[in-house]
Structure 1
Amino acid sequence: MKGTGTALRVAGAVASRHAPLVQRAAAVIGSAGTCGRVVIHDARDEPQGDPLATQVALDRAGTPSLIRRGRGRFTLSYADGGGEAAMAALLAVTTPPGMPIAADPESLSVLALAERLAASDIPVLINGPTGTGKEVLSRFIHDRSPRKNKPFVAINCAAMPEAMLEALLFGHQKGAFTGANAAGEGFFRAADGGTLLLDEIAEMPLALQAKLLRALQEGEVVPLGATQPVKVDVRIIACANRDLPLEVEEGRFRADLYYRLNVFPLALRALCERREDIAPLAFALALRHTPEGANIPWIGEAALAMLARHTWPGNVRELENVVRRALLLAGDEGKIAPEHIVFDRPARLVDQPAPALPASGDGAGKLSDIVQMHEARAILNTLDACGGSRVAAARELGISERTLRYRLASFREAGIAVAGGRR
């Protein structure tokens, strides 16, 4: 039996011995299209098929477990084929590292669209909150495209110095600026023939947006210090965690560039809105952070239910933190239970009272918490006093507008209500 559009093969009598689990997993794997070369067989049978494929042996047992028996070799023991944990573990081991993991129907729909988009060269704009997996989805599109054997270059527009961004994108000639002791090809030319991911595109300065638009329209770049353009063949994927139409409306993002990038938009929802993805993601993260040769702790149903109830303001990045803590706390117990689940510090609202100073060394009222609360109050009060003008508030606070935007974004991610403000 093969999953539709996948390289999944179910060998021997496993289809009858493990039907409830295998049928559910095959349906999801077939919809996701992220499965590598995988053979699933019963633990009592010898491995079959492609020796380079991932081999998953299934066993019905009273005590569930997931054992790595070498590179690409797993034994999955489970008690309940209809349970969430067994399904999540099977999805985790059949998805190659770095590929998106999805079980939520809307997430599966996004992956199906992404796979269709991969065959074309049209620009893609991926929207979604920070930490939802936009870069992972971008790599999936590249790996499914005719450009898969060419470079995939990912850059974060917010993480690079504003003064250097043009040279980093388009390249520069030797001596083009102080310190340019050698020529640089730039990210566009580095990605020639492949895919260039522009993450946090909303942070790109307006002046540079015009040059980016020209590069996209003409298929060429002009390195800093050069007079002649250089042809490039690059597929663009842009990611944004802010509302780009609002940025366009408020004059912070060029409308013509937005429409150039927004040929086909994809949207990733916050993790709390796609709860069926949480369990397979948790198992995949447990696999990633368990060293080769070490036992992989089983994530019990009670622990998975606890994860499903959390609001996940930090999305998948926060889930990764929680899983890594749980692996450490579980130690050699072999199972992650609710007592091993420790969430990040709960978000506090600005109008809550400041934490009390500690009377002893019990850790209450940490200085970092107090500083964070006072900083949030000071920034929001100043923004309100300036009528919502970020430029005026930044000037009053003695920080750059860019820094102020980062602070406001971090407040939103922590669950603090922040008005949009104006420039």
Structure 2
Amino acid sequence: MSLPAPSLELTPAAAPGPAPVAASAAMREVMEAARDVAATPTTVLLLGESGTGKELVARFLHDASGRPGPYVAVNCAALPGELLESELFGHERGAFTGAAERRAGRFEQAHRGTLLLDEVSELPPALQAKLLRVLQEREVDRVGGERPVPVDVRVVATSNRDLGEMVRRGEFRADLFYRLNVFPIALPPLRERSEDLPPLAAELLEELAAALGRPAPALDATALAALAAHPFPGNVRELRNALERALVRCRGAVLTAGGLGLGLGANATATATATSTSTSTSTVNTISAATANALASGQLPVDLAELEKLAIAEALRRVGGNRTHAARLLGIGLRTLRNKLRLYRQAGVEVEPAGPAGGQLRPSARAAGLEPERDGALTRWQARPSQEERS
């Protein structure tokens, strides 16, 4: 005997959400995989650090799926197990104290749509077994129910933990892991997708400014350099919070590094705030004209290599040319910094300070016929003697 379909009114699907920013190669690969799987009923497992945008990709999967039912999300870490079971699978009237009426669970609510199981790694063992059965049989047993209810649901699960390692430690069921891990997609952390920072920051500023009822400020070159240099351990969520804080306090049409309050790396100093509130004209004017114009106007894309040079030049300027301190501010190794400076010199570009107001990107001084003269910690450049003068 066939079982009846769930007898509940379907909530109309909400308007499609924004597509994830994918200017970087890493995110383009993620979105290509998402587009490939979106129109199928295949279960998707989204993996990545907290704040990398897993829920945004899950919403994209639903929007691109063409499924007529709603998008429903449940945070598996937000409720204790005894409440989460009812939340997921529903309950009948009188099933427990306080159950005054029958309630459809999230699986039933997502019928013919998509169900996001956010942080599925946090499910207690008893619920892992019940979830496995739902995924296998495509039917749910309400708490206190007498017969199963069939559901047509596309499941997307997320985790910021290594589920394979949890299986090896006995903390997560192996059979559930294999049932969820049909089509895994790993989202890169923000520090590995720096090309996405300028367009992502601009998009978030527009969204935040609209919520506050004010125009979005432009990000100047110092702000973009600070964003490029910051490691963002909290990923997109940290970026959003930083931009919201800056927007609340912003009084002008341009947002600077000082307004962001990030500094260059984790060890920002008071000097960073004092120096980055200026327009940093000497630094900006020495970048290629196309990149400088793009940075100043907010036009995208910008040249990532130029941003890297700008970040290194700014770090060196702030520490008076001390490479060890600059590497620490940038969050990179001293050897890495030396290698980059060597490559810049070979390309005919000097990035190291030329004086107290240094931090300039300029054509190689040696290529311009100058030679260095050491003055304490600073390098001054003077005209190279001619062959006649040396003789």
Partner of 1:177: 96
Aligned-CA RMSD value: 1.9
Partner of 2:197: 278
d(CA) in 2 for partners of 1:160, 1:347: 34
d(CA) in 1 for partners of 2:124, 2:57: 25
Residue 280 of structure 1 and its aligned partner are, at CA, apart by 1.1
Match of 2:236 among 285, 293, 316: 316
Indicate how the Cα distance of structure 1 residues 145 and 97 shifts in structure 2: closer, same or farther if over 3 A, else same. Answer: closer
Residue 301 of structure 1 and its aligned partner are, at CA, apart by 2.1
List, as ranges, runs of 4+ consecutive aligned residues in structure 1 with deviation greater than 6 Å.
none
- Which residue identity is paired with 1:128? G
Partner of 1:124: 44
Classify the secondary structure of the residue corresponding to 1:176.
coil
Match of 1:230 among 149, 157, 168: 149
- Which residue identity is paired with 2:134? A
Residue 347 of structure 1 and its aligned partner are, at CA, apart by 7.2
Unaligned runs of 5+ in 1: 1-95, 349-423
Partner of 1:168: 87
- Which residue identity is paired with 1:155? V
* Cα-to-partner distance string for 1:136-185 (whole Å, 9 max, x where unaligned): 000001100021x3210011100012211111111100000111111110
Partner of 1:216: 135
d(CA) in 2 for partners of 1:103, 1:267: 17
Classify the secondary structure of the residue corresponding to 2:46.
strand
Partner of 2:225: 305
Match of 1:245 among 140, 143, 164: 164
- Which residue identity is paired with 1:310? H
* Cα-to-partner distance string for 1:62-84 (whole Å, 9 max, x where unaligned): xxxxxxxxxxxxxxxxxxxxxxx
d(CA) in 2 for partners of 1:105, 1:301: 23
Match of 2:210 among 291, 298, 311: 291
* Cα-to-partner distance string for 1:112-146 (whole Å, 9 max, x where unaligned): 11011001111000000001100000000110002
Partner of 2:186: 267
Which structure has the larger Rg?
2
- Which residue identity is paired with 1:222? D
Partner of 1:100: 20
Q: TM-score, normalised by structure 1?
A: 0.57
Partner of 1:93: none
- Which residue identity is paired with 1:227? E
Match of 1:137 among 28, 50, 57: 57
Is 322-331 or 114-123 further displaced after alignment? 322-331
* Cα-to-partner distance string for 1:343-362 (whole Å, 9 max, x where unaligned): 39x979xxxxxxxxxxxxxx
Classify the secondary structure of the residue corresponding to 2:210.
coil
Q: How does 1:16-415 map to 2 (within 5 A)?
A: 98-147=18-67, 149-291=68-210, 294-331=214-251, 333-343=252-262
* Cα-to-partner distance string for 1:219-274 (whole Å, 9 max, x where unaligned): 10010001210000000000000000000000110000100110110001111111
CA contact (8 A) 1:325 1:342 kept: no
- Which residue identity is paired with 1:138? A
Residue 327 of structure 1 and its aligned partner are, at CA, apart by 1.4
Residue 300 of structure 1 and its aligned partner are, at CA, apart by 1.2
- Which residue identity is paired with 2:155? I
Indicate how the Cα distance of structure 1 residues 297 and 347 shifts in structure 2: closer, same or farther if over 3 A, else same. Answer: closer
Unaligned runs of 5+ in 2: 1-15, 268-391
d(CA) in 2 for partners of 1:273, 1:235: 30
d(CA) in 2 for partners of 1:263, 1:270: 22
CA contact (8 A) 2:89 2:105 kept: yes
d(CA) in 1 for partners of 2:73, 2:266: 31
Partner of 1:367: none
Partner of 1:20: none
Classify the secondary structure of the residue corresponding to 1:122.
coil
- Which residue identity is paired with 2:49? P
d(CA) in 2 for partners of 1:115, 1:97: 15
CA contact (8 A) 2:88 2:106 kept: yes
Q: Give the % identical residues.
A: 50
Classify the secondary structure of the residue corresponding to 2:155.
strand
CA contact (8 A) 1:102 1:280 kept: no
Residue 99 of structure 1 and its aligned partner are, at CA, apart by 2.2
Q: TM-score, normalised by structure 2?
A: 0.62
CA contact (8 A) 2:17 2:59 kept: no
- Which residue identity is paired with 2:233? P
Tell me the matched-pair count: 251
Indicate how the Cα distance of structure 1 residues 249 and 277 shifts in structure 2: closer, same or farther if over 3 A, else same. Answer: same
CA contact (8 A) 1:158 1:200 kept: yes
